[in-house]
Amino acid sequence: MKSETRFLLMMLGLVLIVGAGLAALNYYTRPPQPPPVRETEIKLNDVLAPGRPEKGNPNARVVIIEFSDLQCPSCRRGSEAVEQLLLKYEGKIRLVYRHYPLDIHERAMLYAQAAEAAHRQGKFWEMQDLIFNEQDANSKRLEEFARSLGLNMEQFHKDMKSREVMQAVVDDLSTGKRLGITSTPTYLLFVGEKGQMIQGYTSLLTEVEKVMEGT
């Protein structure tokens, strides 16, 4: 092997070793995972954005902001649990949805786009339920969902590919990342101005019950 080859291979090896070392350092010095329920300084107005899908009482003192991924099985169970809460405490809870499609779920972004496109025609929750029911739908199946909901298909196709829909999803995702969310479902539970960040729906159920017992 000539010295030029040796030199270049050494340089390449050096870059790879330094890169792998920095990546490992970054990975292992990450802050420890936070507890599933913690008080937060985040203000309600910081996480509310105009035009996000919501249901329940818009003037309720108890507000749940749900960061969810439509391909995540735990989010499906979380959605059912939140639905039960809305029924049980009718008129006392406001639920706001925000997208948090995880990178590990191949179709999560596609599902978020479809739900957001349906939201443009007032059918977000219906589309969410259809997607959650299967969670392995492809583009063709999503079209069938849209058709079954009576959506204007031309508009749906246009919205699915639109910059605005993509931007809405990315804005939600960026907000979630800024707040330090790393898993789904993650909820922000506000009682007035006091907020808690909650990971997982079982912890949410417990915390909402505590809040409701106290009111």
Per-residue binding letters, 30-69, with other proteins (x by CB under 8 A): ----------------------------------------
- Rounded distance between C-alpha atoms, residue 98 and residue 52, angstroms: 7
10 membership: H or E segment, kind and range = helix 3-28
Contact mark string toward other proteins, 181..210, x via CB under 8 A: -x----------------------------
Binding marks (x or -) toward other proteins, 117..156, rule CB under 8 A? Answer: ----------------------------------------
110 forms part of the interface with other proteins (CB under 8 A): yes
User: Hey, which bits of 43-118 come out as E strands?
Assistant: 54-56, 62-68, 93-99
Residue from the set 29, 33, 41, 106 that interacts with other proteins by CB under 8 A? 106
**Which of 44, 81, 170, 212 touches other proteins by CB under 8 A?**
170
10 or 80: CB nearest other proteins: 10
Cβ-based neighbours of 158, under 8 Å, separated by 6 or more: none
Burial grade of 63 (CB within 10 A; 0-12, 13-18, 19 or more): buried
H or E segment and range at residue 5: helix 3-28
Pick the closer one to other proteins by CB: 114 or 191.
114
The Cα–Cα gap between 172 and 207 comes to: 24
Q: Is 17 in the site for other proteins (CB under 8 A)?
A: no
- Identify whether the C-beta of residue 72 lies closer than 8 Å to the C-beta of residue 185: yes
List the one residue from 12, 21, 35, 153 that touches other proteins (CB under 8 A): 12
CB of 33 to other proteins, least distance (A): 14
Q: Which residues of 20-39 are buried (b: 16+ CB within 10 A; e: fewer)?
A: eeeeeeeeeeeeeeeebbee
> In whole angstroms, what is the distance from residue 103 CA to residue 116 CA?
18
Residue 24 lies near other proteins (rule: CB under 8 A)? no
- Cα–Cα distance for residue pair 204/123, rounded to 1 Å: 25
In whole angstroms, how close is the CB of 207 to other proteins at the nearest point?
25
Among 142, 168, 169, 197, binds other proteins (CB under 8 A): 169
The residues binding other proteins (CB under 8 A) are: 1-5, 8-9, 11-12, 15, 19, 23, 26-27, 101-104, 106-107, 109-110, 161, 163, 166-167, 169-171, 173-174, 177-178, 182
